[in-house]
A = this chain, B = another copy of it.
Amino acid sequence: MKKLFIIGTGPGDARYVTPQASAAIAASSELVAYGLYLDLLGELCDGKTRHELPLGEEIERARLALDLAAGGRPTALISSGDIGIYAMATLVFELLDLQLQGRESSPGWLDVDLEVVPGISAMQAAASRMGAILGHDFCTISLSNLLTPWETIEKRLHACGQGDFVVSFYNPRSQKRDWQIAAARDILLDYRPPQTPVILGRQLTRADESIRVLELQQLDAQDVDMFTLVSVGNSESRHIENRGRHWVYTPRGYRKKL
């Protein structure tokens, strides 16, 4: 059986890689990924053929993974985090869909057995380091307007505000995009208090991890970069401190029973 594993390996630290993901990598001879993700996996990748394509070449990575698998080599397409959340999995299915419609010329892709392996996403790593900000209804919004029109993103920011969802922002900033996070902050400030707690997690679980809490009104573009995950509480989220440790949690409504 021709096989393509589509694998999320969690935020970085090997302790977050599930046994299912490790087994899928072990069963593959070809690894396709942005190189940094493979470096983080260490010895798991020993003896495998590495196909490293830079950021920006996502379509090429998905095609290459499908081609290698269709050629009979057990292949792993790897992303950090959850590969199903703002990552490569959806692109593989988009290519498969085009082939089914006859708009690609790679019929061999249709013979590949696809298996998606989920991973711990950045929002989960950030939330767990700082308490439980995802304890009640939440949403995720990518602030990258490279593939999504800003009007769509803006509509979702207003919906997030109206629905009082906790929100995690993926892709909050890049070298070429620096104004989106402040625009998002300003929209949310129309709906929730300026003191609403915000978690900034950078390089989560990696050697140079940093994580901190600030107020929504303090959030600024200079605080974030492309390695930062931003999670904003809802109107009920609370920031507490005990023995010098800071925690943010969103209550589910048990308080009336406590």
Q: A residues within 8 Å of B by Cβ?
A: 10, 13-20, 23, 58-59, 82, 84-87, 89-98, 100, 110-111, 114, 116-121, 124-125, 127-129, 131-142, 147-148, 152, 155-156, 158-160, 162-165, 238, 240, 242-243, 245, 247, 249-258
Contact = CB atoms under 8 A, between A and B. Distances in A.
A132 B8 CA distance: 12
Given A85-B124, A90-B136, A94-B254, 6 more contacts: A16-B20, A17-B18, A89-B131, A91-B254, A138-B139, A139-B140
B136 A93 contact: no
A255 to B, nearest CB: 7
B156 A98 contact: no
A240 to B, nearest CB: 5
B18 A16 contact: yes
B242 A96 contact: yes
A162 B159 contact: yes
A132 B15 contact: no
Contacts of A114: 245, 247
Nearest to A7: B128
Number of copies of chain A assembled together: 2
A94 B251 contact: yes
20 contacts: A13-B20, A15-B19, A16-B18, A18-B120, A19-B19, A58-B254, A84-B127, A84-B135, A86-B136, A90-B131, A93-B240, A93-B249, A97-B238, A120-B120, A139-B140, A158-B163, A159-B162, A159-B163, A159-B165, A160-B163
A252 B88 CA distance: 10
B118 A250 contact: no
A257 B91 CA distance: 11
Contacts of A87: 135
Contacts of A98: 258
Contacts of A256: 147
Given A59-B257, A118-B120, A160-B159, A131 B15 contact: no
A87 B133 CA distance: 12
Nearest to A167: B139
